Amino acid sequence: MKTIKSLIAIFFLLIGSQAFAQTGTTPYVGSTHIYYVNSSDGNTLNAGHPDNTYYWYLTDNTEALVTDTDVFTVGQAWGTDVAPVNNLFKVDITWGSAASGTYYLYVKEYSNHGCISKRRIEILVKPNAFDIQIAAVAADGCNTASGTLFTGVTPVAAQLGSTPRDFNITMTGTPNSWKFKPVVTADNTAAITTTTYNYDNAGVETPLTVIDDYITVPAGVNAVVATSSVTNVWNDNNTIITFNIDAGEDVLYGTLEKDESKATPDQYAGTATSIVWPVPTTTEIQTN
Amino acid sequence: MKNSMRYLLGVFALVLITNFASAQSEFAPVAGSTFTYKVDVDDNNNNVTWAIKKDGTALTAGVDFSNAATDYIITTETATTGEVGFAKATITWGPNLGEGTYVLEFTEIGGSCTTVRTADVILTANTSFDLTAAATETSACNSLNNTASILDQDATTEIQFTVDMEKAASWSIESWKYKFALTPTYADASMPAPSITSVTIDGNPKNATDGKYEDATIPEGTTQRTITVKITGNANKTINVAFAVSEAFAVNGITDTAEGGSDTNNATTSITKLPGSSAIIAN
């Protein structure tokens, strides 16, 4: 029975992830997509269109022209109907916060005779569903020095050691590679000694490294386990490890994490804490 | 002997039985015109022959003027038994015959005796009746121009040709007529030809017979005809359409006069391809 429930859950998870994934025709608000004609790869213009000119424009679902930059911005000068742009067979469009619902993207290609081919594509802009979440794996608990035989008035750092805590970082909303910027801190004079990142690659735990402050996760991987180690300190206060996701981005489409791209963005895409309890600062055993 | 017979029997009996036209007549036709000539014969059973001579040299009769050797076309008829004796010849004077005096000669042979009748025919060149074919536009974009479409979509594009008729104002005719052929082809010769969806003149549909459309019984006062043609084919390929006028005649009763003048009986127009834009691709 449990197995069936799990299967059903996985089934709906798959359906859900497919329904929410974005493409150029179903982009998320905040994403940047390329749109092109006459090319097999979006970079090289096919033969047969030498020096043709292009004019791109966007309409809403009533075919009314849209120019609001809150709806979209483009990376190129689009020209005008009377002054189309030479060889502009590709454009980048970033869907803005005011974009919602159905739009039509048109392109007119003008031959040297002035004859015009007009093509259009229907685009359904969706709310940004690219979401990164973080949660501590284990419950709060004692530091790893608990139960250790201490010597001396104050145990030295080597005796105290450090406590590792795992955090699950999960992502929904894109099949593409994604990246996040972790910021891990600890209070109570404790220090983060290391944070490692791993993901499950077909059963093999595979490390990820921080490059330019970001962890970049391969496409198709939706979960990363971060392990942060904090020095155990000799006082009676709890040590709180705070793990913030400072920024998240869909690498291919440039979509920012939804909590950070909304009208009033959150400071962090996600945040989690894990509390390390201290051991009692028992003195050395005295005798008379 | 022949000469004396000719003078003895020399009452002329060549009679015109076609309608009159003001600027030409049976004995003063224009090149390309058709008239019927008649002789009352002595005996239906006698052998009769017709000939046309120029400066004593017989011209060449033929069946159509596409053969350059043909000077004229003749069909003959004789009375059958029981009818009053006569012989008729319907002659179409070659459109390219030079101006001058020709002799129409009729010979009737009865036994060993021969009677010859002649008539002078003063032919003038046909410089008045002339048709000119033209395309309304030398080229135009395919009808899907500036319309949202897909690559290699078929579309029907309307084009027009005109045929202008000129003739001397003094020459009164009943009507005029011509035939025309339409040949649409892709500029890319490897492709099968695009299709002709419809051909209309003044809103009236026309159908081709043996590859030609006919526009007939056009009143004298109508000097221009507009032929509207719809061609269906790939919007992203250039289509050339050739228009060729042939068999143009001014009609007076049963008299048809072929056109003369300089030949501008062909016109072409192009339906210019639209750029072969692919669909919009999004990443």
* Position A196 in a domain: yes
Claim to verify: residue A151 and residue A238 sit in the same structural domain = yes
Rounded distance between C-alpha atoms, residue A241 and residue A192, angstroms: 8
What's the mean pLDDT in B16-29?
60
H/E stretch holding A232: none
Identify whether residues A144 and A39 lie together within a single domain.
no
Domain boundary among A125, A151, A186: A125
Single residue among A76, A94, A125 that ends a domain in this structure: A125
Q: Are residues A262 and A150 in the same domain?
A: yes
Q: Indicate if A150 and A237 belong to the same structural domain.
A: yes
Cβ atoms of residues B274 and B146 within 8 Å: no
Q: Do A117 and B274 touch (CB under 8 A)?
A: yes
Say if residues B93 and B125 touch (Cβ distance below 8 Å): no
Q: For residue B10, what pLDDT is reported? A: 32
State how far the Cα of B69 lies from the Cα of A207, in Å rounded to an integer. Answer: 97
pLDDT digits (tens, 9 = 90+) for A55-91: 999 999 999 999 999 999 999 998 888 899 999 999 9
Q: Is the Cβ of A42 closer than 8 Å to some Cβ of chain B?
A: yes
Q: Quote the minimal CA–CA distance from A24 to chain B in Å.
A: 5
Residues A121 and A135 occupy one common structural domain:
no
- By Cβ distance, the residue of B144, B235, B277 closest to A109 is B277
How far is residue B162 from each of residues A167, B211, B224, B245, B264, measured CA to CA in Å? 83, 19, 7, 10, 12
More reliable by pLDDT, B261 or B6: B261
- Give the structural domain span for A77: 23-125
Domain assignment present for residue A288? The answer is no
A183 and A111 share a domain? no
Over residues B254-275, mean pLDDT? 84
Report pLDDT digits (tens) over A107-132.
999 999 899 999 999 999 999 999 99
Q: Do A234 and A267 have their domain in common?
A: yes
Predicted pLDDT of residue B164: 95
Nearest CA in chain A to B277: A38
| Spatial strand order in the sheet of B47-54 | B57-58, B47-54, B100-110, B113-123
A272 within a domain of the structure (yes/no)? yes
> What mean pLDDT is predicted for residues B189-194?
94
8 Å CB contact of A37 and B150: no
Q: What is the pLDDT of residue A9?
A: 47
User: 0.80 exceeded by the pTM?
Assistant: no
Per-residue confidence (pLDDT) for residue B186, from 0 to 100:
97
From chain A residues 95-114, the ones with a CB under 8 A of any chain B CB are 105-111, 113-114
Q: Are residues A215 and A136 in the same domain?
A: yes
- Number of folded domains that form chain A: 2
Note whether A120 contacts B: Cβ–Cβ < 8 A.
Answer: yes
Q: Over 60: is that where the pLDDT of B38 sits?
A: yes
Q: How far is B151 from chain A (nearest CA, A)?
A: 9
Task: Please answer yes or no on whether A117 and B150 come within 8 Å at the CB atom.
Answer: no
CATH code at position A171: 2.60.40.10
B107: buried, middle or exposed (CB in 10 Å: 19+, 13-18, 0-12)?
A: middle
With a threshold of 0.85, tell me whether the complex ipTM lies above it: no
Collapsing DSSP to helix, strand or coil, B212 comes out as: strand
Biggest distance spanned by C-alpha atoms of chain B: 105
Query: A120 lies in a domain?
Result: yes
Residue A150 and residue A119 share a domain: no
CA-based nearest distance B205→chain A, Å: 29
- Quick one: which H or E segment has residue A5? helix A2-20
Is position A58 within any domain? yes
Does residue A16 lie in a domain region?
A: no
Closest to A116 (Cβ–Cβ): which among B145, B276, B279?
B145
Q: Please check whether residue A155 lies inside any domain of the structure.
A: yes
- Quick one: DSSP state of residue B17? -
Mark whether A66 and A106 lie in a shared domain. yes
Please tell me the predicted confidence (pLDDT) of residue B112.
87
Tell whether the model's pLDDT for residue B180 goes beyond 80.
yes
Model pLDDT, residue A260: 85
Whether A116 is covered by a domain: the verdict is: yes
Asked whether residue A137 falls in the same domain as residue A257, the answer is yes
Q: Quick one: pLDDT band at residue B125, thresholds 50, 70, 90?
A: confident
Nearest CA in chain A to B276: A117
Residue B1 corresponds to which amino acid? M
- Domain end marker among A103, A125, A147: A125
Does A222 have pLDDT greater than 90? yes
The domain that holds A114 is classified in CATH as 2.60.40
Residues A90 and A170 in one domain: no
